[in-house]
Amino acid sequence: MKRLRIFWALLSMPMIGLVTGCGTESPDFRVNNVYMEKISRELDVKFAGQRQEDVYTALTAMFGTPDLPVVTGGEDAGVSDVLSVENLHLAAGPVIKDYEAGKGLYRQHCAHCHGVTGDGYGPTAKFLNPYPRDFRMGTFKFKSTPVGYRPTDDDLTRIVRNGINGTAMPSFKEMLDSGQIDAIVDYVKYLALRGQTERSLISLSGDYGYETPEETTETQAELLSKEVLVDEILGAIVEEWTSASETATEAEGRDPVYDFSSPEFDQSELDESIARGQQLYYGAGACVTCHGPTQLGDGQTTDYDNWTKDFFGEAAKVADAELLDAYLTAGGLPPRNIIPRNLRQGVYRGGRRPIDIYWRVKNGIDGTPMPAASSQLTDDDVWDIVNFVLSVPYQSLSQPADMPEFVRDRN
């Protein structure tokens, strides 16, 4: 009874999202069994029965369902500064016959790869390399903010609009208008907020006891309170997102003497910058360690991304048969090594503009072994590396070898 009173109080709080509607049975969000397995091993607790039920009852009360998303307590936590009700309405729910209505955008365009839950486990996920992004950690690779910080709206919009070159992520700029893209971006942030909250709740619930009825009642009174769910967990997560634009790495831009389209372009200046960048690539920049001596991406090929290492802890443990079996049984996708970019191909997943390459070098790539540039490197050094990287695909070594011309002899 006390538990019900707690949730009635929670549900009476201001919420952002859809609170009306009817229709067919809504699909469920997938339980994060992989993270529960991780925490159960770390804390030696079992996520079953009342403990698991409390976590997911709280999540449903806070975030609703795929057809009827809400963010309970969102006004108190400042969620309206992160996403809008109107955009959730456009992106959520099933795809309807009237495509012109523009509803169900996420499920129509995104769920087959990223999954209804945003866990990167849609029906096509196993067949894609790289795997689709799992939004639940709130970690995104290609952005203007440093490692460990959330992306800005512009970062996410750019990815949806332009796609990710060299992957299955397509461009939607010819398919969706700007309002629809904004709706998908907001829904992705909603899934990230929900996923981050889920992880926090799982971790926190592992610290509480459920051994006796008295202990369970005491746990529920604290764990399921507004102070914990909204003020402590959701509020902190929302703050990370609202401050994203403040953490974006600013750059004055590439010197116009390096820009072919600028009237100030100077080939000799560019050549000198490329030469300096090449020296940094092999030296203080330490790029050679991963991208290899000939920029083929073969410096190291045995590491994993952070979505894999979140469970295993370190790359070497992926080879542990018992741990791997537990990971796969819990629903993890088979681990794959993350291979550094082959710079000679000229395929840049985060964008090919000079500023895009600058952000990759300056900030690093979140969720991957790609680190931020050393603090010993100046901005000019970073731009020299950018100029070198952009020159590599045009070097003679990058061009295909001359193929022999086969001509059939005629009698």
Residue 330 lies in a domain: no
Q: Does residue 286 carry a pLDDT above 80?
A: yes
Q: Are residues 173 and 282 in the same domain?
A: no
Q: What pTM did the predictor assign?
A: 0.91
Pair 242, 351 in one domain: no
Confidence of residue 4 (pLDDT cuts 50, 70, 90): very low
Residue-level pLDDT at 406: 56
Please indicate, yes or no, whether residues 172 and 221 belong to a single structural domain of this protein. Answer: yes
Domain C-terminal end among 212, 227, 246 = 246
Residue 396 is predicted with a pLDDT of 85
Name the residue among 286, 249, 283, 253 with its Cα closest to residue 360: 249
| Residues 7, 56 within the same domain | yes
pLDDT at 47: 87
CA distances from 72 to 9, 21, 165, 244, 357 (A): 11, 17, 37, 22, 39
Rounded Cα distance between 369 and 286, Å, is 13
Same domain, 282 and 234: no
**334 within a domain of the structure (yes/no):** no
**Domain for residue 62, yes or no?**
yes
SS3 337: coil
Same domain, 203 and 106: yes
Of 214, 246, 278, the domain-final residue = 246
> 327 lies in a domain?
no
What pLDDT was estimated at residue 100?
59
Are both 176 and 27 inside the same structural domain?
yes
User: Going along 64-145, which residue ranges are E strands?
Assistant: 70-72
Read off the tokens for 343: 């710079």
pLDDT (mean) for 170-196: 97
Q: Is residue 306 part of a domain?
A: no
Q: What is the dihedral of CA 105, 111, 112, 113, to 10 degrees?
A: 120
Q: Is the residue at 78 inside a domain?
A: yes
- pLDDT tens digits along 135-172: 999 999 999 999 999 999 999 999 999 999 999 999 99
Residues 55, 94 within the same domain: yes
The vertex-400 CA angle with 396 and 405, nearest 5°, equals 125
Same domain, 155 and 270: no
C-alpha distances out from residue 176 to 102, 106, 122, 161, 163, Å: 9, 12, 21, 8, 12
Q: Residues 204-227: pLDDT tens digits?
A: 999 999 989 999 999 999 999 999
Where is 16: in which H helix or E strand?
strand 15-17
Number of compact structural domains in the chain: 2
* CATH code, domain carrying 364: 1.10.760.10
Q: What is the reported pLDDT for 408?
A: 61
Same domain, 148 and 293: no
pLDDT digits (tens, 9 = 90+) for 58-88: 999 999 999 999 998 878 888 999 999 889 9
Spatial separation of the C-alpha atoms in residues 80 and 171, rounded to whole Å: 27
From the CB of residue 184, how many other CB atoms can be counted at a distance below 10 Å? 22
Q: Does residue 219 sit in the same domain as residue 291?
A: no
In a domain, 328, yes or no: no
Q: Which of 41-45, 69-73, 98-102, 385-389 is predicted with the least confidence, judged by mean pLDDT?
A: 98-102
Residue 320 falls inside a structural domain: no
Domain span holding position 110: 2-246
> Are 241 and 261 part of one and the same domain?
no
User: For the residues 17-22, what does the mean pLDDT come to?
Assistant: 46
- Cβ neighbours for 264, distance < 8 A, ≥ 6 positions apart: 256, 257
What share of the chain has pLDDT > 70, as a percent? 90
Domain boundary among 218, 246, 274: 246
Phi, psi values for residue 228, rounded to 5°: -85, -50
